[in-house]
Amino acid sequence: MENSVRIRDLRRIKEYKFDTEGVETVTSKEQIATEKLVELCFDRFQQLASIDPTLPVIQRQNHIAYLEKCLKGLPEGYCTLDSSRPWLVYWILNSASLLKHRFSDTQLDRTVDFLKKCQSPLGGFAGGPGQIPHLAPTYAAVNALAIIGTPKALDAINREALIQFFRAIREPNGAFRMHIDGELDVRGAYCAIAAAKLSALPAEEFASVFEGTAEWIASCQTYEGGFGGAPDLEAHGGYSFCAAAALALLGRPAVCNLKALLRWTVNRQMAFEGGFQGRTNKLVDSCYSFWQGALVVIIQTLMASIDPFAKTSTTRPMFYSEALQEYILICCQRNNGGFIDKPNKHADVYHTCYALSGLSIAQHSEFTLEPRVIGHYANELLLTHPVHNIPPAAVSACYAYSSAAGSVPPSEGGSAEIEDIWDDDSERDN
Ligand SMILES: [Zn+2]
């Protein structure tokens, strides 16, 4: 069946290409070179679409086969990610769940066993067995266990030790280091808060561990409107997502300037390419489809929670959702499986996860029952929770586990509004 959502007129949008205004720079040359590659993809697509009007089509079975292969074993190029192994697991599991694919019980059981080996006796998870605990793999491992969602997976997290780990890396002002004596940035705060919510920390512990964290995060907002990794650093899409998602989970959006953040974020969508850049004057990259796309949805939801009559209501997303889908499906999809950052790059599981997550956000960013899907209706992915980036049903199950354990209930910290909106949708698809 053909879809009524039309793609842009790819001939007309050429007028949106970068204008050097007579001044060539290193970055303007890179931008123009990237636009040429994207233009080749669009031109080729137009020729193919004139033969087959159902295009673009997501190569679902090939992506699933790619993910199945990656969960069994990765090529040697991934050896540099030896200290990020729970991340690899999470990226693969989340990609598969977006594609409506569940690995076998045996594979998932083995995955839980592996993640348990990454858990440190000091609390938190390490990037691999025997390594030191670190907030980034802790976030990834907890997300992966939540996606698996079996009693064995949810029981695998040592919650008491996790609290001790959080206390060991917390600074007196509420900021978090990534590991003991490690670097301090907004990622740390987001990873800790997200893992704490899903891991059912008792409410009083949660309030105590994150005292001052919202104010510290707010101090990372820059003059541009986006957030840097720490105070006085450049605004960046990944850190801005972490900041807004963390403030949403803490129920403290009013500590930052949401209007300025919204203006900065929507201006990161590239007029010609349709995808997002991560920072001002940088190139388009498919992973920012999620970091920036979900960020817009989170900001709009937070603004609506403060003022339900705000012009930035959640009826329509304030980014061009169809253009984002075009960039992901036409320029970043590898037909034999996996997604790439931009044309001429290799596929990897990180970009596969965040391109698919961004595609899901773009399809479902309108708060109506009908998704906006370009190409064939079968291109529709399952929803992802915009704050946690796992299936909304997996978030609900973890929160339910949390409530049963007598710890942080869903309404704690005022974050119920975001969760409720996405839980309602999750019932439709999961
Ligand atoms: Zn990227």
Residue 414: pLDDT band (50, 70, 90) is: very low
Looking at residue 148, what is its pLDDT? 97
- 82 half-sphere exposure, CB direction, 13 A CA radius: 7
- Beta strand residue intervals within 31-124, DSSP E: none
More confident residue, 421 or 370: 370
pLDDT 10s digits, 4-39? 677 898 888 999 999 999 999 999 999 999 999 999
The CA-based angle 410-412-415, given to 5 degrees, is 70
- At 139, which helix (H) or strand (E)? helix 135-148
Q: Which of 287, 331, 332, 353 is catalytic?
A: 287
d(C-alpha 317, C-alpha 378), whole Å? 22
Looking at residue 411, what is its pLDDT? 38
pLDDT mean over 302-313: 80
Residue 264: pLDDT band (50, 70, 90) is: very high
The CA-based angle 387-97-105, given to 5 degrees, is 125
What average pLDDT does the chain have?
91
Q: Which of 66, 190, 239, 288 is catalytic?
A: 288
Residue 314: pLDDT band (50, 70, 90) is: low
More confident residue, 95 or 407: 95
Joined tokens for residue 32 = 């123009």
How many CB atoms sit inside 10 A of residue 160's CB?
A: 11
354 is catalytic: no
Looking at residue 415, what is its pLDDT? 42
282 is catalytic: yes
- Give residue 33's identity as a one-letter amino acid code: A
d(C-alpha 373, C-alpha 197), whole Å? 31
134 is catalytic: no
Looking at residue 7, what is its pLDDT? 85
More confident residue, 179 or 309: 179
Looking at residue 131, what is its pLDDT? 97
Residue 2: pLDDT band (50, 70, 90) is: low
Asked if residues 351 and 373 have their Cβ atoms less than 8 Å apart, the reply is no
d(C-alpha 156, C-alpha 83), whole Å? 20
Percent of the chain with pLDDT over 90: 81
**Residues whose CB is under 5 A from ligand 1 (ion)?**
285, 287, 341
pLDDT 10s digits, 46-94? 999 999 989 999 999 999 999 999 999 999 999 999 999 999 999 999 9
d(C-alpha 150, C-alpha 307), whole Å? 39
d(C-alpha 262, C-alpha 223), whole Å? 13
Q: Which of 107, 67, 99 is nearest to 336 (CA)?
A: 67
In the predicted model, is pLDDT for residue 206 greater than 50?
yes
351 is catalytic: yes
Asked if residues 236 and 292 have their Cβ atoms less than 8 Å apart, the reply is no
Looking at residue 377, what is its pLDDT? 86
Alpha carbon of 323 to ligand 1 centroid (Å): 18
Alpha carbon of 95 to ligand 1 centroid (Å): 15
pLDDT mean over 231-246: 98
Q: Which of 85, 220, 242, 341 is catalytic?
A: 341
How many CB atoms sit inside 10 A of residue 117's CB?
A: 12
Looking at residue 6, what is its pLDDT? 78
pLDDT 10s digits, 378-397? 999 999 999 999 999 999 99
Largest CA distance in the chain: 64
Alpha carbon of 56 to ligand 1 centroid (Å): 22
Q: Which of 134, 268, 342, 351 is catalytic?
A: 351
| pTM for the model | 0.93
Q: Which of 8, 282, 345, 376 is catalytic?
A: 282
181 is catalytic: no
Alpha carbon of 182 to ligand 1 centroid (Å): 24
Alpha carbon of 239 to ligand 1 centroid (Å): 14
d(C-alpha 361, C-alpha 381), whole Å? 9
Looking at residue 312, what is its pLDDT? 65
pLDDT mean over 318-342: 97
pLDDT 10s digits, 267-286? 999 999 999 999 999 999 99
Residue 213: pLDDT band (50, 70, 90) is: very high
Looking at residue 221, what is its pLDDT? 98
14 is catalytic: no
pLDDT mean over 164-172: 97
More confident residue, 115 or 12: 115
Q: Which of 179, 236, 252, 364 is catalytic?
A: 236
Query: How many residues are present in the chain?
Result: 430
Alpha carbon of 209 to ligand 1 centroid (Å): 32
Asked if residues 411 and 167 have their Cβ atoms less than 8 Å apart, the reply is no
In the predicted model, is pLDDT for residue 427 greater than 50?
no
Looking at residue 323, what is its pLDDT? 97
Looking at residue 403, what is its pLDDT? 61
Looking at residue 3, what is its pLDDT? 60
Joined tokens for residue 13 = 């949008």
Q: What's 329's DSSP letter?
A: I
385 is catalytic: no
Alpha carbon of 342 to ligand 1 centroid (Å): 8
285 is catalytic: yes
Asked if residues 328 and 261 have their Cβ atoms less than 8 Å apart, the reply is no
63 is catalytic: no
